[in-house]
């Protein structure tokens, strides 16, 4: 075994050297091979009787009827049309050409090309320095802080439309989150906790609900089981709120139980589970119209757990404050979280733009602004809109209702279409409430793309736009939704090539069918000229 493992590095080194040598010499080998083939054809032209072969081929082509050419061109047009349809469908679904993908994946290694296993490259950052471009693995998926309730909202959508608003990938991420967040100390894990771990992994909703009831039978104070029932089984927000309150009471009662070993140290409720329950209770209050109560619960939660900023509870608070039209409180929250050292989101950037646009949008007129120029306040509003659009360019089309909205997913990709859907779903009403804000957005948002003409290479206020958002968004968003892609991709070469080939062959088939004699004369003239030219070269 040791000998085998010791010889592996040597064999791998020899293989790598051989591949690099073949890659370096491939171009020259092809050129030499092509020259040798031409030389052999020239030398063997008499023994092979190439001139007689070409003459007989010309005679055979001249004896063909126009029907043959109609069938030939028609078949070519049909085949190229089918390839075009398949390529277009594949491009719309996966964002790339099938032929190009196969060529890159299988032919490039054979031809000695270097596979781009890492997408890291040097790009200019905000301050002009060289910056590595984010790779696909850096496109982190985040939990949607405003995600809906499965039983009370997502399931009702399915009952009405027959469409599934959540993808399996999205639900699988949620199951992983619940397993991670709701599992306490592994040394104190109980039988009902084991049942709940399996319950989150169940793909069938009814199986998850049955497992939750099984956990409650084992322990009537199992808070995680009540959380699952509130999320999955409750068909109304009121019922979900009742189950979350039951989960909170069960957790607090369980918290007062003493440790059976020491009889001194109380068992503490899982902090993540506690925060999740209180947050969902605040969201229930918000949905039921008790907005001030929801704001108080969110503020208390943020004060009690200040280190859990990664859960983005402030985004729930911002939305509730906007509903109350408490714009001064919204500005105070933004002053704390819209900091250069903190991660940004569409909620932060577009809420900041909304506040600045609201101050000037009521009296804003594009004609007047073009005559007198922009005032300082208007310029600040336009710059805030440009900043927000640069962070997430997909949002304006949803706010301006140029694209139809769908239910937001349970996870989002920052700067992606999924984040845009989630933001616009909850904040479109706030933009409509600010008179003239959408008009100002409509007049100014496209100017952002003149500031950053090459977003994948260099950003203006943020890092270059990640190139991996489309793939992740297609996994997070349902198939009936048309994913917004930025920057807009050009049609692949093979789609244009097959479209041209299909059109050209279809035109030839039609001309041959309509004018068979004329096309026959044309083909015979072309073949005769080609045959004579080849024979003169060989002779």
Tokens of 332: 């105070």
Does residue 487 have a cis bond before it (omega within 30 degrees)? yes
Instruction: For residue 2, give every residue at least 6 positions away whose Cβ sits within 8 Å of its Cβ, in sequence order, or none.
Output: none
The whole-angstrom separation of Cα 453 and Cα 471 is 22
Tokens of 214: 């099984």
Structural Rg of the chain based on CA atoms: 33
Tokens of 529: 């000229």
Question: Which of 288, 273, 178 has the alpha carbon at shortest distance from 239?
Answer: 288
Residue 204 banded pLDDT, cuts 50, 70, 90: confident
Q: What per-residue confidence (pLDDT) applies to 15? A: 64
Q: Which residues of 48-87 are buried (b: 16+ CB within 10 A; e: fewer)?
A: eebbeebeeebeebeeeebeebbeebbebbeebbebbeeb
Average pLDDT over residues 403-416: 93
Question: Which of 102, 108, 104, 114 has the alpha carbon at shortest distance from 16?
Answer: 114
Helices (H) then strands (E): counts for the chain: 25, 4
pLDDT tens-place string over residues 322-350: 999 999 999 999 999 888 778 889 999 99
The whole-angstrom separation of Cα 498 and Cα 228 is 52
Cβ(406)–Cβ(429) under 8 Å? no
Q: State the pTM of this model.
A: 0.69
Q: What per-residue confidence (pLDDT) applies to 260? A: 47
Q: What per-residue confidence (pLDDT) applies to 1? A: 41
Cβ(395)–Cβ(423) under 8 Å? yes
Comparing 303 with 46, the larger pLDDT belongs to: 303
Cβ(240)–Cβ(231) under 8 Å? yes
Burial of 11 (0-12, 13-18, 19+ CB in 10 A): exposed
pLDDT tens-place string over residues 289-331: 999 999 999 999 999 888 777 788 999 999 999 999 999 999 9
pLDDT tens-place string over residues 410-461: 999 999 999 999 999 999 999 999 888 999 999 888 888 888 877 777 778 8
Comparing 57 with 404, the larger pLDDT belongs to: 404
pLDDT tens-place string over residues 110-161: 555 444 433 333 333 333 443 343 443 457 889 999 999 999 999 999 999 9
Q: C-alpha 103: how far from its chain's center?
A: 24
């Amino acid at each position: 075994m040791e000998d085998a493992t010791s010889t592996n590095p040597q064999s791998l080194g020899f293989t790598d050297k051989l591949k690099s040598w073949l890659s370096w010499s491939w171009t020259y080998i092809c050129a030499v091979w092509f020259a040798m083939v031409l030389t052999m054809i020239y030398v063997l032209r008499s023994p092979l009787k190439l001139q007689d072969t070409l003459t007989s081929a010309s005679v055979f082509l001249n004896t063909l009827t126009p029907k043959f050419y109609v069938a030939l061109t028609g078949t070519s047009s049909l085949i190229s049309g089918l390839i075009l349809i398949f390529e277009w469908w594949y491009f719309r679904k996966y964002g790339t050409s099938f032929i190009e993908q196969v060529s890159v994946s299988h032919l490039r290694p054979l031809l000695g090309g270097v596979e781009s296993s890492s997408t890291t490259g040097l790009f200019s950052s905000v301050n002009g320095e060289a910056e590595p471009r984010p790779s696909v693995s850096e496109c982190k998926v985040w939990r949607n802080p405003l995600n809906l309730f499965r039983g009370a909202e997502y399931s009702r959508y399915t009952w009405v439309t027959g469409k599934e608003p959540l993808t399996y990938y999205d639900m699988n991420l949620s199951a992983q989150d619940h397993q991670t967040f709701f599992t306490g100390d592994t040394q104190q894990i109980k039988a009902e906790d084991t049942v709940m771990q399996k319950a989150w992994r169940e793909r069938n909703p009814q199986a998850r609900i049955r497992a939750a009831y099984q956990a409650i039978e084992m322990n009537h104070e199992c808070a995680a089981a009540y959380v699952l029932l509130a999320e999955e089984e409750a068909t109304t927000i009121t019922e979900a709120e009742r189950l979350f309150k039951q989960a909170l009471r069960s957790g607090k009662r369980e918290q007062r139980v003493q440790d059976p070993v020491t009889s001194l140290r109380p068992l503490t409720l899982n902090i993540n589970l506690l925060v999740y329950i209180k947050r969902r209770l605040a969201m229930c209050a918000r949905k039921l119209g008790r907005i001030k109560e929801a704001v108080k619960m969110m503020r208390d939660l943020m004060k009690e757990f200040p280190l859990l900023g990664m859960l983005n509870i402030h985004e729930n608070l911002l939305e509730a404050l906007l509903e109350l039209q408490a714009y001064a409180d919204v500005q105070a929250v933004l002053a704390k979280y819209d900091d250069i050292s903190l991660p940004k989101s569409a909620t932060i950037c577009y809420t900041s733009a909304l506040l600045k646009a609201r101050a000037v949008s009521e009296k804003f007129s594009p004609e007047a602004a073009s005559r007198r120029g922009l005032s300082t306040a208007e310029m600040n509003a336009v710059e805030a809109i440009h900043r927000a659009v640069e962070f997430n360019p997909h949002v304006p089309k949803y706010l301006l209702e140029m694209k139809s909205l769908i239910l937001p997913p349970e996870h989002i990709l920052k700067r992606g279409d999924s984040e845009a859907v989630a933001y616009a779903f909850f904040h479109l009403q706030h933009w409509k409430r600010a008179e003239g804000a959408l008009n100002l957005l409509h007049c100014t948002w496209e100017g952002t793309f003149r500031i950053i003409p090459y977003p994948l290479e260099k950003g203006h206020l943020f890092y270059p736009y990640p190139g991996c958002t489309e793939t992740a968004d297609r996994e997070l968003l349902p198939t009936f939704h048309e994913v917004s892609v930025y920057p807009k991709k050009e049609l692949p070469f093979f789609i244009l090539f097959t479209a041209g080939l299909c059109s050209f062959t279809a035109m030839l088939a039609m001309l041959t069918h309509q004018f068979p004699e004329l096309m026959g004369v044309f083909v015979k003239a072309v073949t005769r000229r080609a045959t004579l030219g080849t024979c003169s070269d060989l002779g």
